[in-house]
Structure 1
Amino acid sequence: MAALLERVGIAPGLLQQRTARLTEAQFAALYRLVVAYADDEMPRLFSRPLRPGALKFTCLSLLDARNLAVALHRWSHVLHLLQDDFTLEVDPAQPICRVALIESPAARPCKPVALDLMLKLIHGVASWLIGRRIPLIRVDFSFERPAFAAEYQALYPGPVRFDQPCTAMHLEAGYLQMPVRRTKPELNEFLRRAPEDWLFVSFKDELLSQRLREHLARQLPRTLTAEDAAAALHVSTRTLHRRLGEEGTSFQRVKDELRRDIAVQKLTRTREPMSAIAAELGFDSTASFHRAFKGWTGDTPGVYRGRGAAPESGRR
């Protein structure tokens, strides 16, 4: 351990000083070294190791989830495959939902640091997936209050309680419906900086593409130009295009994805006429809506609705 500490510029003597502090970069660098040394992404904290690559392939399985609720549901299944110490349980109750780590009675009790790191990982990855730091109503831990309990306020955006029935975070249920907007190139950068981006979650500024999408949704059926949107978001048109490019998207792509997602929801969940859907999305005719939708999905709206319809009279 002394050799690993020295490699990241941490004096081993600091371990004996209760008031000693490290930078986030030092801690993250040390964590990466320990993961490599232990061959375990949760360094020997659980009964089975999470081999390097577990987080990458977990995140890959979450990227195409339509929203955070689906992503967390998938994650619960992946964790069940990878370890035996706990299950990830998501209670989507309104208006506050609970994301909990339920320890297995058949396994050895989880160490407090193991529960702490796993909950931090879930909060950090969930925040990253939707591109905004998720505020927490409160955080519960099943272990007793430690001497350094006050430090938790710097790690969790919400009040922290100890000696609770289970370890869990509580958040507004609306966050579960927020879409997953990350891409594989963004995942590579996220993993390269790990654990900084999930352990020390910041996301001080919401993604401009998300703000743009929400603004465009409020304006429908009116269709806006990039100049209109830039003025409403208080940035120049040039800045709008530049920042959208940095986020891996464009004005037209954000607009198309918004209208595509709304169209898919209406086609599969309602029986609204095509002409009404086209008008609500700002198209000047049903024909132009048909052309755009086929370009987005490869199918006409009618074919897509037929595939998504519930079975009738035994037919699929």
Structure 2
Amino acid sequence: MPEITSITVPISFVRDLLAAVHDPLKRRGLIEKAGIAPLLLEEGSARVTAEQFSILYRLVARELDDELPGMFARPVRGGAFKLLCLSMLDSTSLRIAIYRLSRFMRLVVDDFSVDLSVHGDLVRVALMPSGTTPVLKVFAQEVMLKLIHGVVSWLVGRKMPVARVDLSYSRPEHASVYVFLYPGAACFDQAQTALYFEAKDLEAPVRQTKRSLTDFLKRAPADWLFVSFAEHIVSHHVRECLEKHLDRPTAIADVAKALHFSVRTLSRRLDAEGATFQGIKDELRRDVAIQRLTKTDTPIAVIGAEVGFDDPTTFHRAFKKWTGSTPGAYRTST
């Protein structure tokens, strides 16, 4: 399951992750170890790479001895994730594996339970807040859905298709990143946060072993946070098509033709996913530019040209609009 290497993560995720680290000096030390400039925390539209966020997650989890750092009333101690995976490996089907996951979470977390129920042809895996915690933090819900879906997909050795994702909160400003986090249409302001997938998938066999678990744990949390599960989402296909021709002008008509849609149909499909062609194009340019600014010494003017800007001034203006910083300031700070 290949990772999406070009995506970036909103700075709000970094702030939420660091919320449990109360010592300012420790907080600064952790973000610097992850290669994130402290100044970015003050920029509302700043982004970090998926790799930087994954490194920071591991550092914070180790610092707090909490594998779900500060998300719940009591910490989930180091080693819990490994024990969870081990408990599921000898399951004869995905149904049994998810049941074991729900029982395991009941032992380590008081704030919610994982509820598995069948509704016709669909299965719902829902986060049910406890009486003592009527409202779960948004960040905690985002991470738990990714953990459940990522682990389930890893267990069966394929990207588990999801029919729908329900979120019990209103659409956040960073919702555009959900196309990479969740593989189904996101529905906000729902009664519970839940994933839905086809009931027949419950009988899928578990295909992983202790040997493959070792590699999975080494890469955690990247393998369950930032693996692409969005291939069937039209906006993902648009992004892939644009990325192949990023250094040249590509109009919506070009992409529609490549994807065998009319322009009208493509626009309608994107609208149904809460996306626009220009929005996808800008997000891709932003993410690729950030990747190259942080990981290469390529001149800024060349990076601008590589993401489709012939005029360096236009690139500088666009980048500042996207992130709150100029390309030069962003590179210096990181």
Distance 1:104 1:118 in 2: 15
Following the alignment from structure 2 to structure 1, what is the Cα–Cα distance between the partners of residues 99 and 85? Answer: 13
What letter corresponds to residue 95 of structure 1 in structure 2? D
2:157 matched to 1:131?
Answer: yes
2:47 is paired with a residue whose SS is coil
Contact 1:132 1:203 in 2 (8 A): no
2: CA distance, partners of 1:204 / 1:192: 24
Deviations 1:106-162 (A, max 9, x none): 235311101110111000000000011112111111122212222212211111111
From 45, 48, 64, the equivalent of 1:19 is: 45
2:123 touches 2:196 (CA, 8 Å); kept in 1?
A: yes
Alpha-carbon deviations, 1:261-316, whole Å to 9, x = none? xxxxxxxxxxxxxxxxxxxxxxxxxxxxxxxxxxxxxxxxxxxxxxxxxxxxxxxx
Matched, 1:68 2:94: yes
Pair 1:31 & 2:57 matched: yes
1:110 paired residue among 115, 130, 136? 136
1:173 aligns with: 199
Name the counterpart of 1:161.
187
Contact 1:34/1:43, CA 8 A, preserved across alignment? yes
Q: Which residue of 2 aligns with 1:146?
A: 172
Distance 2:39 2:142 in 1: 25
Distance in structure 2 (CA, Å) of the matches to 1:22 and 1:114: 19
Distance 1:162 1:108 in 2: 17
2:149 maps to amino acid: H
Partners of 1:16 and 1:7 lie apart in 2 by 18
- Give distance in 2, aligned partners of 1:175 and 1:161: 22
Match of residue 219 from structure 2: 193
Equivalent pair of 1:131/1:203 in contact (CA under 8 Å): no
Report how far residue 204 of structure 1 moved.
9.4
CA apart distance, 1:197: 0.6
The total of aligned residue pairs comes to: 205
TM-score, normalised by the number of residues in structure 2: 0.59
Cα distance in 2 between the residues matched to 1:68 and 1:93:
17
| Aligned with residue 91 of structure 1, among 117, 138, 143 | 117
* Separation in 2, partners of 1:196, 1:204: 16
Which 10-residue stretch deviates more, 147-156 or 188-197?
147-156
Change (3 A) 1:89 1:194: same
The answer as to whether partners of 2:180 and 2:229 remain within 8 angstroms in 1 is no
Contact 2:180 2:228 in 1 (8 A): no
Q: Structure 2: 5+ residue runs without aligned partners?
A: 1-26, 232-334
Give, in whole Å, the separation in 1 of the partners of 2:99 and 2:119. 14
Larger Rg: 1
- Identity level (%): 49
Q: How far is the alpha carbon of 1:62 from its aligned partner?
A: 0.1
* Higher RCO structure (Cα 8 Å, ≥6 apart): 2
Residue type at the aligned position of 1:88: V
Specify the SS of the correspondent of 1:22: strand
Matches within 5 A, 1:190-269: 190-202=216-228
Divergent runs of 4+, >6 A: none
Residue of structure 1 in register with 2:68 after alignment = 42
Query: C-alpha separation between the residues in 2 aligned to 1:203 and 1:28?
Result: 18
CA RMSD of aligned residues (A): 1.6
Aligned to 1:139, the other structure's residue is in SS state: strand
Alpha-carbon separation, structure 2, partners of 1:57 and 1:134: 22
Provide the C-alpha distance between the structure 1 equivalents of 2:181 and 2:161, rounded to a whole number of angstroms. 12
- 5+ residue gaps in structure 1? 206-316
